[in-house]
Amino acid sequence: GIGRTGAMLACYLVSNGYKAKEALDIVERERGYGLFTQGQYSAVYQFETILKINWKEKLLKGGLDA
């Protein structure tokens, strides 16, 4: 397949605090091309959503150490 490395790089950036759109823009700028399928883009946005939900649940349970 094509584009999986870019998708993983974007998810890595998201896991380090970047918004999905910012991460995708960085990947495209630095590599000279973006991802190749709508599914790959969707996966990065879904990953961002999952991280937000997980952080919110941890905070509601009493903090990040919970």
Torsion of CA 23, 25, 26, 32, to 10 degrees: 140
Is residue 66 scored above 60 in pLDDT? no
Question: Tens of pLDDT along 2-26?
Answer: 779 999 999 999 999 999 999 999 9
**Helix residue spans in 1-66 (DSSP H):** 4-15, 20-31, 38-60
* Cα separation, 18 vs 12, whole angstroms: 9
* Share of residues in the chain with pLDDT > 90 (%): 73
Mean pLDDT calculated for residue range 46-51: 95
Confidence (pTM): 0.82
Residue 33, SS3 per DSSP: coil
Mean pLDDT calculated for residue range 26-36: 94
45's tokens: 């946005």
